[in-house]
Amino acid sequence: MGINSMYITGGISAYIICMFSFATCFLISPLKTFFIYLVSLVFFIYGLILNVDTLQVLYSTMVNGLITVILAQIISSLNYASFCKDFLNKKRILESKQMLETVNAKLQEYEKTRTDFFVNISHELRTPLNVIYSAEQMIDNSMKSSNLDRNQINKYFKMIKQNTYRLLRLINNLIDITKIDAASFKIKLINYDIVKTVEDISISVAEFIEHNGITLTFDTEIEEKIIACDPDSIERIILNLLANAVKYGKESGSIFVDIFLEENYVCISIKDTGIGIPEDMCDLIFDRFTQVDTSLKRTNEGSGIGLALVRSLVEMHGGNISVKSKFGEGSEFIIRLPDLRIPENNEKISASILDEKNINRINIEFSDIYL
Ligand code: ADP
């Protein structure tokens, strides 16, 4: 550069550029710096031999080169290296700052969800407990008074029972979601008739649903379909979705349960004519603790865990769940389960699932709904 400068422009600008370039060499390791200096020196001397014809010019150029290197050393010792480092790091700092801001925004969002959850869960735990406590007090008072009203007592017992189920459901869901997080929740797959399973569950809750003024229609494209599934989990999934269809249904509305086949999948559709879900919430409702109406004054009870649990259970079967909804008109939840069987020879056609354990489960899953 020095030589070019001298011959082309005759100025010292090239020496200054050289000086600053050399100064940045202190950013790298001493060994590399030494190597760069050495290579530069070889080129410098070679350039001089090629271009310089008088001894005087040769000496003055060498002196200029030497001064350049000495100045570069001085400049770098005057914190030039750290200035260059700062300059080069600025972009990295900016990127890190942006990343931190994104993480911070996510943390704040998470913190808000967590706070909302605790407020909501406290409300969900306290409400049934209050009801149980008040009912117990009323029974106690009735027992003490002389005129014991059996109907009233039965009503209080019913209140205690329903609210105990509500507490049980909430705690079961919390335990299961924690187990899923810890990967300790396992489903037991067996070859089972999914059509009969879903039909039996629908029949078992039909009376309860109709009691709420809602009609339930079951339809199927196939009479029998044996696939690998966990009947307990399937029952939990269907009961959860049916309970939501009632909870978020409208008076004298309808619920349709349909089973049909798609390529490699058995599909179960649960459709209601209820309040529907706003479009921007359709994907979010499967995230835990997410509710369309988060106010404590909302008309329906709930913790926002049900659908998160349903999605996890469906995914454990290798399937998926989606929702189509029109706000104000109704929603349709579609579960797709792989049309597969496991190799074991433990094929079993669903017998009646309406045993006592299942009736209890229905009571638990529908406990958010008051008759
Ligand atoms: P929750 O205990 O609040 O019912 P879920 O996880 O079951 O919790 O549902 C999450 C949210 O999705 C509900 O709070 C409700 O806003 C919405 N949702 C679920 N099912 C329906 C439905 N069938 N119709 C309208 N909204 C629904």
Co-location of 219 and 171 in the same domain = no
- Ligand 1: list residues with CB < 6 Å: 244-245, 248, 272, 274-277, 285, 291-293, 302-308, 331
User: How many structural domains is the chain composed of?
Assistant: 3
Report d(CA 181, CA 183) in Å as an integer.
5
Q: How far apart are the CA of 67 and the centre of ligand 1, in A?
A: 78
Query: Which atom of ligand 1 is nearest to 272's Cα?
Result: 23
Domain CATH number, residue 296: 3.30.565.10
Co-location of 359 and 268 in the same domain = yes
Q: How far apart are the CA of 290 and the centre of ligand 1, in A?
A: 8
Co-location of 360 and 241 in the same domain = yes
Q: Is residue 267 part of a domain?
A: yes
Co-location of 238 and 327 in the same domain = yes
Q: Which domain-ending residue is among 181, 208, 231?
A: 181
Co-location of 69 and 152 in the same domain = no
Co-location of 213 and 355 in the same domain = yes
Task: Determine the pLDDT at residue 115.
Answer: 84
Q: Which domain holds residue 335?
A: 190-365
Region of residue 95 (left: phi > 0; alpha: psi -120 to 50; beta: else) = alpha
Q: Is residue 105 part of a domain?
A: no
Co-location of 227 and 337 in the same domain = yes
Q: How far apart are the CA of 64 and the centre of ligand 1, in A?
A: 80
Q: How far apart are the CA of 285 and the centre of ligand 1, in A?
A: 7
Q: Is residue 126 part of a domain?
A: yes
Strand partners, 257: 218, 270
Co-location of 235 and 325 in the same domain = yes
Q: Is residue 81 part of a domain?
A: yes
Which residue owns the Cα nearest ligand 1 atom 11?
Answer: 291
Q: What is the pLDDT of residues 333-358, one digit of tens each?
A: 999 999 999 986 555 544 444 455 66
Co-location of 74 and 173 in the same domain = no
Positions of the chain with pLDDT lower than 50, given as ranges: 349-354
Q: How far apart are the CA of 316 and the centre of ligand 1, in A?
A: 21
Task: Determine the pLDDT at residue 350.
Answer: 46
Report d(CA 53, CA 3) in Å as an integer.
12
Report d(CA 14, CA 7) in Å as an integer.
11
Q: CB under 8 Å to 70, separation ≥6 — which residues?
A: none
Co-location of 164 and 244 in the same domain = no
Q: Which domain-ending residue is among 59, 94, 129?
A: 94
Domain CATH number, residue 159: 1.10.287
Residue 269 half-sphere exposure, CB side, CA atoms within 13 Å? 17
Q: Is residue 209 part of a domain?
A: yes
Task: Determine the pLDDT at residue 245.
Answer: 96
Task: Determine the pLDDT at residue 15.
Answer: 72
Which residue owns the Cα nearest ligand 1 atom 4?
Answer: 302
Query: Which atom of ligand 1 is nearest to 275's Cα?
Result: 25
Co-location of 273 and 351 in the same domain = yes
Tell me which residue of 232, 241, 305, 231 sits closest to 268, measured CA to CA: 241
Q: What is the pLDDT of residues 167-218, one digit of tens each?
A: 998 899 889 988 998 888 999 999 999 999 999 999 999 988 998 899 999 9
Co-location of 257 and 291 in the same domain = yes
